[in-house]
Structure 1
Amino acid sequence: MIEEIRIEDLGVIGTAHVPLSPGLTAITGETGAGKTMVLTGLGLLLGRRADAAAVRTGSTQATAEGCFVVDPASAVAERAREAGARLDDDGTLVAVRTVAAAGRSRAFLGGRSVPQAVLAEIAEELVTVHGQSDQARLRSPRHQRQALDAFAGPEHLAVLEAYRSAWAERQELRAELDDLVLHAQERAHEADLLRIGLAEVERVDPQPGEDLELAVEADRLGHVEDLRTAIVTARLALAGDDDGSTAGAVRDVDHARRALEQVAEHDPALAALVTRVAEVGYLLDELLADLGGYAQDLASDPVRLDAVQARRAELTALARAHGGTVDAVLEWARSSGLRLLDLDGTGDRTDAVRAALDAAEDRLSSLASQVSAARTDAAARLAEAVTEELGGLAMAGARLEVALTPGDALGPWGAEEVEMLLVPHAGAPARPLGQGASGGELSRVMLAIEVALATSPASGAATPPTFVFDEVDAGVGGRAAVEVGRRLAELARQCQVVVVTHLAQVAAFADSHLVVSKSRAGEVDVVTVSDVREVAGDERVAELARMLSGQEDSTAALEHAAELLERSSVGR
């Protein structure tokens, strides 16, 4: 609910504090006193378009501040926190809107600057405004459908949610089936290419690291003579000539060892060096033997070299097509085999999707029938309830009709379109809301619908915390005005209701009565804090008398006002 509104420098208002209580609050005052500016200030807090022309002449900016009380655990509170707003422990959420005379507007929520759209999003959940400029909501097919579904009750809403899920599932299955069918030829072509590639890999049968091993072998076989020359040179250096004419490293090291051994007994340190020279000799003997073994294995093999080169060429061609190495080829074959299994199973998947789609269609059709049946029943009940309300709102002979028009196919919200039609008087044709009805009549239709939604025992409508009505009583008087007040009071049992009215019959039903008046500051009219006051007792009777006759001191008007208050109290 709205706890209070503070306004500065907006239109005729200099400074105003508007406290709002639970139940029904009536705002009254002379024409031009500033009641409209109070609603303009509220509209700013609700994220509506800012008009720099509304800034009070001579001021640099207008400011509207409002305190909303919300459930700290509600979705609204969570959305406010997401925007960075801070809520008090008691759930108080402060909204501020400033409008500069130069035209710039700024919005704040819970102490944080936020986009105007955030205020509008929060306000949509907190406040519903009905006035001459708010008829679009009633004309919207989406809102009409939502109102009917809410009126149908919680069980219907649960079935509708199940229908929505089934419809989304059906759409997903349709899209998947369309994709399977549309790209079937592409997948078949891909499978053929994979089979050809895998067959080639299977024919070549590459082994892990084979390309690297063959490269080493090819290099060795291609340089046999160079290797043989190098071995002969190395053996000569180590062993010398066979005839002994040239000494090699082995004999030189052996000669060094014997020379040292002859004198090693004279110095223990030299004995250790003898051991090391002996080890060098052993190593040279092993190296000489290994070179001999290598030389025996080293043989020119042109046939083997040709085979190695041919195998390398085959592997290179395969690797060039699949990653550049044999290991990359093997990885491609592994992943491609899995992909081929998936592609070969597409036919089975297509059949499974078709079966699932048929089942989804059946379930969706069944749920659509349930939704349509519930809407048909609710449409009759809502039309009857609203028509009854209209009869007491100076619209005798008016009738609301809720038409359900079957669609060409099942849509996201059911099998039919919902449209509310108004018969403004007996004998008139039913026409869409907003066509052939005055703004005042539409305001009363809105009131009738809101009362029906809020008071019907079977309704599942989520009633917003606050309703604001402006000129809902336009064009009515007498008994009809009393009925407007009675219905506003009935609605106020469910939520907070604020009404700006010129009718004493409506204001008499209010739980709280605020009067807006103007003062004179020099040559300028202005509304100050003292000019927005709550009246009760004799003051309230005097205000109602003024509204009835224009004379707050008329004895007859005062008696009539007192009678209105008494009857409204009894009527509730």
Structure 2
Amino acid sequence: MISELRIADLGVIESAVLEPAAGFTAVTGETGAGKTMIVTSLGLLLGGRADSGAIRRGADRARVEGVFADLTADVVDRVGEAGGDVEDDSLLVARQLTGTRSRCFVGGAGVPVAVAADVTGELVVIHGQSEQLKLAAPERQREILDRYAGAGLAGELAAYRADWTERQAARAELAELRDHARERAREADLLQFGLNEIEQVDPQAGEDVALAEEAEKLQAVDDLRLAAHTALVALAGDEDSIDAGSALTAAAVARKSLADGADLDPALESFATRAADLQVLAQELSQDVASYLSDLAADPARLEWIAERRAALQGLTRKYGETVDEVLAWAQSSAARLGDLVAGDDRIEELAARVAQLDEALLSRSATITEHRSEAADRLAEAVAGELAALAMPHARLAFTLEPLPEPGPHGAEQVVLQFTANPGSTPRPIGKVASGGELSRIRLALEVVLAEGSGTGTFVFDEVDSGVGGAVAIEIGRRLARLSRHAQVIVVTHLAQVAAFADRHLLVRKASDGQITTSGVHRLDDDERLAELARMMAGLEDSDTALAHARELRELGKRA
């Protein structure tokens, strides 16, 4: 329940503190005094949309604070998860508006609006005039019936929606796969053709580079032989020319001369050693060049095979990559893609089977949901009929009709349609087409009273629930709200004295003006002030003896409720 509500610079309210009763609190005031701002402030605490235009003229920000008591363990846990604290079994929720932003605080912790809504959503339910329009919508009618049906239906609906969501996703994927089956088949054929072509050639990594080098070598064999022979003659001499000098001969002569000189001068010993090393290096080099020359031979057959192999490789590089390595990379990725395409056919079969399973599950669950709704529809219609009879509509009849859908939707296999008739013998028709404004007000109240008594919600706020009615009907509305307040806290913004008379506490919103800015505040009325306000509401004459007598009579009636 709400133990305290503080409003600062919201609408025409400069500063106000409300302390609603635990039972029934009535909020009244002249038109334009700012009664609606109380409902607006509560809406802000519940995560409602922030409007910077609601900031009072001349102020740079507005602030609303609500103190909630009698918290459930679940709410306390949610506050803790949000980083807030509950002190003395009370929770402070605040909302601050500026021209550019809105901020929420739960238990002293700054939180997103959605978190505040999650925490406070179970604490307060606001029923405004917009409910009359919503009541004509099939979606709202279904919500009312499902709410009345209780936890049994809620559990079935949760399981049903999980299956329905999965089926929608599976059907969408299945349709996409089937719609593109031809394109996948064409792509798979092209990939398979390319992979077969590559497999036939069987290229090896770096093969094109190696073959190019080998071909270049075979094509230049004569030039290479001449270069190697010339070098060998220079190193070892030429057998055909005995007089020709060679590096080996020169190195040997140099080594011997330096060794002989070392006997005379030890300084030449190191030179002789180096000459010996030179002789060894020249000998090894000449042997290597001779070996190279002996292996160097023209191989026309090998050269022809290389040309053919390179042509085959070039056939692949024209289609699948600049080099053989790129061709092999294409083959690897294409093989993976081909696997995915082939798996698509398996996926189609898998999805088709899963959709069939989910269809069966939805059919079974939707039948159970229909049973829950059908049973709840009869009970709710009967309970509301009793309330309507007390609201001077003894012959009114509501009926929740379950109209089958072409196929199961996200909320079951039927659409819920609320039908109404006010006269005996008349066929019920959709409520939005036959109910007047006053009838809608009473139907809405009857539904809210029936739904609220078993809901366990802490606080109900009714904004102009009595619009379009008066007289005896208004008295019955007051009586019904008083009855509801035995089970929950009830706050009612009303313009009817017949309703306000039943309240346990009466708050007056009154305005004042300095000629430039109008401001409003909230005042808790004592017994005398309350009689004067009820008289004003009925006759516009708060000092009239007749009006006061009537107000006193209404209060006595309210006390006996």
Q: 1:467–1:495: 8 Å Cα contact kept in structure 2? A: yes
CA shift digits 1:259-312 (9 cap, x unpaired):
332344677775455434323322221111111111011111222211111111
CA shift digits 1:358-410 (9 cap, x unpaired):
22211111111111111111122222222222222233322222121111112
Q: How far did residue 221 of structure 1 move?
A: 0.3
Q: 2:503–2:558: 8 Å Cα contact kept in structure 1? A: no
Residue 326 (structure 1) aligned with residue 316 (structure 2): no
Residue 253 (structure 1) aligned with residue 251 (structure 2): yes
The TM-score, its normalising length taken from structure 2, stands at 0.83
Q: 2:460–2:489: 8 Å Cα contact kept in structure 1? A: yes
Residue 516 (structure 1) aligned with residue 509 (structure 2): yes
Q: 2:52–2:97: 8 Å Cα contact kept in structure 1? A: no
Matches within 5 A, 1:481-560: 481-492=474-485, 495-519=488-512, 521=514, 526-529=518-521, 532-536=522-526, 539-540=529-530, 543-544=533-534, 550-551=541-542, 554=545, 556-557=549-550, 559-560=552-553
Does the residue aligned with 2:507 lie in a helix, a strand or coil?
strand
Q: 1:47–1:117: 8 Å Cα contact kept in structure 2? A: no
In structure 1, the partner of 2:375 is 377
Rate the CA distance shift 1:478–1:174 in 2: closer, same or farther, 3 A.
Answer: same
With 556-565 and 230-239 compared, the bigger mean Cα shift is at 556-565
Distance in 2 (CA, whole Å) between partners of 1:330 and 1:520 is: 87
Does the residue aligned with 2:93 lie in a helix, a strand or coil?
strand
Q: How far did residue 328 of structure 1 move?
A: 3.2
Distance in 2 (CA, whole Å) between partners of 1:33 and 1:194 is: 77
Gaps of 5+ in 2: none
Q: 1:485–1:506: 8 Å Cα contact kept in structure 2? A: yes
In structure 2, the partner of 1:445 is 443
Specify the code of the residue in structure 2 equivalent to 1:136. L
Q: Tell me the number of residue pairs that the alignment of Structure 1 and Structure 2 aligns.
A: 547
CA shift digits 1:343-364 (9 cap, x unpaired):
4455444333333222221111
Which of 205, 214, 218 is the equivalent residue of 2:211?
Answer: 214
Rate the CA distance shift 1:342–1:63 in 2: closer, same or farther, 3 A.
Answer: closer
CA shift digits 1:77-130 (9 cap, x unpaired):
78997xxxx8565542311335xxxxx775343399999999999987775443
Rate the CA distance shift 1:348–1:437 in 2: closer, same or farther, 3 A.
Answer: closer
Q: 2:50–2:97: 8 Å Cα contact kept in structure 1? A: no
Q: 2:234–2:246: 8 Å Cα contact kept in structure 1? A: yes
Specify the code of the residue in structure 2 equivalent to 1:107. S
Paired-residue identity, %: 46
CA shift digits 1:232-268 (9 cap, x unpaired):
2221322234334332222222222223323446777
Rate the CA distance shift 1:190–1:471 in 2: closer, same or farther, 3 A.
Answer: closer
With 146-155 and 307-316 compared, the bigger mean Cα shift is at 146-155
The TM-score, its normalising length taken from structure 1, stands at 0.81
Specify the code of the residue in structure 2 equivalent to 1:302. P
Distance in 1 (CA, whole Å) between partners of 2:79 and 2:403 is: 38
Matches within 5 A, 1:373-452: 373-452=371-450
Q: How far did residue 156 of structure 1 move?
A: 1.2
Rate the CA distance shift 1:193–1:476 in 2: closer, same or farther, 3 A.
Answer: closer
Distance in 1 (CA, whole Å) between partners of 2:7 and 2:141 is: 34
Matches within 5 A, 1:287-366: 287-344=285-342, 346-366=344-364
Q: How far did residue 226 of structure 1 move?
A: 1.4
CA shift digits 1:482-503 (9 cap, x unpaired):
4323432444456543211234
Distance in 2 (CA, whole Å) between partners of 1:208 and 1:533 is: 91
Q: 1:23–1:496: 8 Å Cα contact kept in structure 2? A: yes
Does the residue aligned with 2:64 lie in a helix, a strand or coil?
strand
Distance in 2 (CA, whole Å) between partners of 1:348 and 1:440 is: 62
In structure 2, the partner of 1:194 is 191
Q: 1:27–1:515: 8 Å Cα contact kept in structure 2? A: yes
With 148-157 and 327-336 compared, the bigger mean Cα shift is at 327-336
In structure 2, the partner of 1:101 is none
Distance in 1 (CA, whole Å) between partners of 2:340 and 2:39 is: 65
Specify the code of the residue in structure 2 equivalent to 1:301. D
In structure 2, the partner of 1:109 is 104
Matches within 5 A, 1:80-95: 90=87, 91-95=91-95
Rate the CA distance shift 1:408–1:78 in 2: closer, same or farther, 3 A.
Answer: farther
Does the residue aligned with 1:517 lie in a helix, a strand or coil?
strand
Rate the CA distance shift 1:333–1:526 in 2: closer, same or farther, 3 A.
Answer: closer
RMSD: 4.0
Gaps of 5+ in 1: 99-103
Distance in 1 (CA, whole Å) between partners of 2:381 and 2:421 is: 11
Q: How far did residue 318 of structure 1 move?
A: 1.4
Does the residue aligned with 1:94 lie in a helix, a strand or coil?
strand
Rate the CA distance shift 1:22–1:256 in 2: closer, same or farther, 3 A.
Answer: farther
In structure 2, the partner of 1:10 is 11
Distance in 2 (CA, whole Å) between partners of 1:534 and 1:173 is: 60
Q: 1:6–1:65: 8 Å Cα contact kept in structure 2? A: yes
In structure 2, the partner of 1:139 is 136
Q: How far did residue 223 of structure 1 move?
A: 0.7
Q: 2:221–2:296: 8 Å Cα contact kept in structure 1? A: yes
With 361-370 and 198-207 compared, the bigger mean Cα shift is at 198-207
CA shift digits 1:120-161 (9 cap, x unpaired):
999877754434444333223222212212221112111112
Specify the code of the residue in structure 2 equivalent to 1:485. G
In structure 2, the partner of 1:25 is 25
Distance in 1 (CA, whole Å) between partners of 2:263 and 2:19 is: 120
Q: 2:221–2:297: 8 Å Cα contact kept in structure 1? A: yes
